[in-house]
Structure 1
């Protein structure tokens, strides 16, 4: 059981690094392609909105395909897209390079999560997805900050080129070592999968993911810019800061995996409360090394935990079609990511970087209120599915 999970985790590292590496590269991309930081931030929005709009449909369709061939094809697509990004002469070509992997990310992440859950059983879904999510956390620990360090030394194009080569390597590993994974017969029917959307509870959980991720990425999209302009760090220091931010996420990933199996909504509320503390404390702590480290650690731990908690929460809400439930979380999360990037850009233009934490915390606060409302419904009875 461990080999397939490790292979999928390694592939997940490349998939999620492709989505989020741009966070550490935004300043360089904006300078080289002659656009503003908020305009470059729209690349985050494009990726996120593509996933949000098409993710459930693509996942429902591709759920019928044999997993090994599908995952290999996805990794090849990611390799080609990253090479195109490395050669992009303008913002338009870069937009195309970001669009292509956005089509494949929700399919991979939803079906890989389902495969992990099948291997260990639904009652340990949180811990199974936590193992897959280890690759996601490693993407924030190593992928994003190493990308920033490579970009600082060799340019942001080199970072995308390296990521493209890594994607091709992962495709080979999956081709030779990933076994055949059973396809769920229940998920071959598009109509049956989309029926879960009739549930008001499911709609509420999707909205909860939108709010959580909107709050996260209102600030996180521009974290590198905050560290450069407000803290006065150079590119190398920013890269190490992002690595530390991701490293503490290993703690959050473990905590989230256990907490979500006990109670999904309480886990969301608890981590959200601590995230607000970290976000609000960041700017006032910007010139104190110790205080800044503590604020970023709290934020990093809770962000990693909420990635996992949100994902498993939707899978548990749709136990008959867990991959489709996961795709709905991915869709809602990326809608939130895209909105967060837009909101963050407007906050910067109108109120300055120093206001990002407060704007982000407002959305996280709304997510807590919605979670409390949802706890009055059927899921309040559910601790394990």
Structure 2
């Protein structure tokens, strides 16, 4: 793998730490800002909303930019939003910084994904994306628990300062490893071709799968800290360790998924989603048992993240030679799920359903995700892409 792939993974780690760390800081944010836990949870949904809007908009704006310029600019703005967030005492300002930061984070994801896919052969794309996305899982293992510890002992603002510093380090790495210069006009992306590539029913089923799986993961993950404290009965000091265990499961899952997704994308999706459904139901039934709940959370991370490489590589394959808008739309789909999951969870908690209800919501969205995969599996194997040559998607029969 080119060094640049690992640098982009480091950049995702820096920004992904911010994306994830609020799941461990909700009690501190709620107390310090004087808002309820569901209101603090909306900061997670606000971040997802920013990503939802940012991916397609910035994909169009930066279509003919130097990729290095775009990546550096996004990292710089992301770091600045965290400086502002660390200084503000106001919930509304913090909410705004989450939206703006997520907006450029989505742009970074879109440009980084296209950059990575251009750096490696077609049969290595899922593995390359698993390395980049692995930055997010390492953020779960390292960044999330460290952010939680910082928040518990030094205040949540210390976690935001740390993310800003990490982004500066990532920015230096991008400057040193990603080539500069604008794309060759002869091979530069064409907006018309990018939009025509989206006229593919398989792509939209893939986007739906992405949104529903992500919702299943986030409806539980967003409220893990209060669930562990209030339902499972763990002390607050134990929460970072459980979150790190979730991250370890995620890392194992995405590593294994990256090795199977290129050859067996549908099989990877079937196994990952089915495991997610079963484990969500188990958590709903056993949330009050610490040993079972902790083991279930570890496995949820593994099965939930195992499908990620297949989701990304499948969309890129279906898009043919115009992957930028399809990739951006897929990231928007991720963030539809990130928005939907915490919102549904907040509704359930606010209605007094209790934290075990989160698992049952995840079961419902997981079953819907599995249905989209089944439908896609039995559509015709080839669909015309923007160039008329046909974009292929390997069904269970073909795989």
Structure 2: stretches of 5+ with no match in the other structure: 383-391
Q: Structure 2 CA distance, aligned partners of 1:38 and 1:254?
A: 33
Determine the structure 2 residue equivalent to 1:198: 199
Determine the structure 1 residue equivalent to 2:316: 315
- Maintained 8 Å contact 1:215/1:360: yes
- Maintained 8 Å contact 1:148/1:235: no
Query: C-alpha offsets along residues 29-82 of structure 1, whole Å, 9 cap, x if unaligned?
Result: 111111111111111112212222341131132131112222121111111111
Distance change in 2, residues 1:289/1:35 (3 Å): closer
Question: How far 1:149 moved relative to its partner?
Answer: 1.0
Matches within 5 A, 1:8-27: 8-27=8-27
Equivalent residue in structure 2 for 1:375, among 360, 374, 377: 377
Question: Are 2:272 and 1:271 aligned?
Answer: yes
Question: How far 1:283 moved relative to its partner?
Answer: 4.0
Question: How far 1:375 moved relative to its partner?
Answer: 0.8
Question: Are 2:167 and 1:156 aligned?
Answer: no
Q: Structure 2 CA distance, aligned partners of 1:16 and 1:115?
A: 18
Question: What's the TM-score once normalised by structure 1's chain length?
Answer: 0.94
Determine the structure 1 residue equivalent to 2:354: 352
> In proportion to residue count, which structure has more helix?
1
Determine the structure 2 residue equivalent to 1:298: 299
Query: C-alpha offsets along residues 179-204 of structure 1, whole Å, 9 cap, x if unaligned?
Result: 33874765532222122222222222
Q: Structure 2 CA distance, aligned partners of 1:26 and 1:316?
A: 38
Distance change in 2, residues 1:186/1:91 (3 Å): farther
- Maintained 8 Å contact 1:61/1:190: no
Q: Structure 1 CA distance, aligned partners of 2:139 and 2:36?
A: 26
292-301 or 149-158: which moved more?
A: 292-301
- Maintained 8 Å contact 1:127/1:257: yes
Q: Structure 2 CA distance, aligned partners of 1:181 and 1:136?
A: 28
Question: Are 2:272 and 1:261 aligned?
Answer: no
Q: Structure 1 CA distance, aligned partners of 2:181 and 2:19?
A: 25
Question: What's the TM-score once normalised by structure 2's chain length?
Answer: 0.91
Q: Structure 1 CA distance, aligned partners of 2:230 and 2:236?
A: 11
Distance change in 2, residues 1:90/1:29 (3 Å): same
Q: Structure 2 CA distance, aligned partners of 1:181 and 1:361?
A: 47
Q: Structure 2 CA distance, aligned partners of 1:169 and 1:56?
A: 26
Distance change in 2, residues 1:233/1:45 (3 Å): same
Distance change in 2, residues 1:319/1:309 (3 Å): same
Determine the structure 1 residue equivalent to 2:249: 248
Count of matched residue positions in the alignment of Structure 1 and Structure 2: 385
Question: How far 1:225 moved relative to its partner?
Answer: 1.3
Matches within 5 A, 1:56-205: 56-180=56-180, 183=183, 188-205=189-206
Question: Are 2:7 and 1:7 aligned?
Answer: yes
Q: Structure 1 CA distance, aligned partners of 2:380 and 2:345?
A: 35
Q: Structure 2 CA distance, aligned partners of 1:266 and 1:111?
A: 28
- CA RMSD in angstroms comes to 2.1
Structure 1: stretches of 5+ with no match in the other structure: none
